[in-house]
Amino acid sequence: MSAVQLKQDVFGELTDHDGKKKTIKRFTWTNKRGVVVQLITYGGYITSIKIPDRKGNVEDVVIGYENLEGYFSTGNAYFGCTVGRGANRIGKSKITIEGVTYNLSANNGLNHLHGGNTGFDKVVFDHYVNGNQVILSYHSSDLEEGYPGDVVVNVTFELTDETEFLIDYKARTTKPTYVNMTNHSYFNLAGHNKGSAELYKHVISINADRVTEVDSQGIPTGNLVPVSGTIFDLRIPRVIGDVVRKVPNSPGYDHNYCIAKGSQQVDTFVAKVYHPESGRVLEVYSDQPGVQFYTGNFLPEDDSVKGKDGQIYKKHGAFCLEPQIFPDAINHNHFGKAILYPGEQYTHTSKYKFFTEN
């Protein structure tokens, strides 16, 4: 029997466009190892993950805000949210399905990013508790942000005794459409308040032999480029500080890595990150073909983003590992299946495993 405890309280309240007030719930898991994870129903944000180091000292290792208002702010760069319908960038904000072109909302220059102006990061999810699982549900209406079809999504979150945080995504549609969901947590295993100085000490490895080449706007060109002999080769562990400033034509990593396995399984190893001083380790497993590795390049260099405990979040202060279908896959046939049809179910399972090493 699991020893994980799950509690809920109120995180805040908002007024929707109809003038109705909605209560935002917060769920808190605690396991026998002293790990605490918190999630809210607004945007499906993971607001806190507290993990002990090898000496038992506990730090919150994800960046975020103490109150709901923070998640409304312009400085909130998807800090821990559930992303959908379409994660990552879609070129020129257009998708074509069965000969019909749909114009999506353009919120990243001419391009579409992370579901648009009102993506899943800005909706209030319905919730249901089943034992230690929290299921967040949302009905995305036909042509919401330009996407065809009524889509119902269910995202299940769970913390285990083994300090694995599991996220399982499911979706069904009434019309052929595009669904590509992920989580956008920003991690710093030294602590959310430790900044780039500690982020640069992290050691990362990613199980990928290719990356999706991108243009100057971060849109895939269609080429899948081997990483061998390049700064993108993270199959052998590398210290982030040694490589992050050497990424060509970019202020750091913001690239989709093609996971090196032909048929993805739930427990396919994606990446490992280790912080030597604390001993904290994060391993990511997923059944998705890609993972976006992002080093917080577009966080500001000034003091404009203030998060938990008054901490200022700046460029390269945290990293993201976002399992997903290849970005812009809907516009590149050779990127794999990207269209969800009525009668099918979109599925995506990811596992974030935390532990310490000496």
Closest to 43 (Cα-Cα) out of 14, 7, 1, 17: 14
Q: Which residues are annotated as a binding site?
A: 88-89, 184-186, 254
Residue pair 256/223 in contact by the 8 Å Cβ criterion: no
- Exposure class string for 316-354: b at 16+ Cβ within 10 A, else e: bbbbbbbbbbbbbbbbbeebeebebeeeeebebbbbbbb
* Alpha-carbon span 120 to 122, nearest angstrom: 5
What does the domain layout of the chain look like in residue ranges? 5-356
At 314, list the tokens: 């700046």
In eight-state DSSP terms, residue 243 is: H
Q: CA-based angle 93:284:132, to the nearest 5?
A: 100
Q: Which fold has domain 5-356?
A: Beta-galactosidase; Chain A, domain 5 (2.70.98)
pLDDT of 163 reads 97
Digitized pLDDT (tens) for each residue of the chain, 358 residues in all: 679 999 999 999 998 777 789 999 999 999 999 999 999 999 999 999 999 999 999 999 999 999 999 999 878 899 999 999 999 999 999 999 999 999 999 999 999 999 999 999 999 999 999 999 999 999 999 999 999 999 999 999 999 999 999 999 999 999 999 999 999 999 999 999 999 999 999 999 999 999 999 999 999 999 999 999 999 999 999 999 999 999 999 999 999 999 987 555 668 999 999 999 999 999 999 999 999 999 999 999 999 999 999 999 999 999 999 999 999 999 999 998 999 999 999 999 999 999 999 8
pLDDT of 263 reads 52
At 92, list the tokens: 């020129």
By annotation, the residues acting in catalysis are 184, 322
| pTM of the entire predicted model | 0.97
pLDDT of 261 reads 72
Q: Which residues are annotated as a binding site for beta-D-galactose?
A: 88-89, 184-186, 254
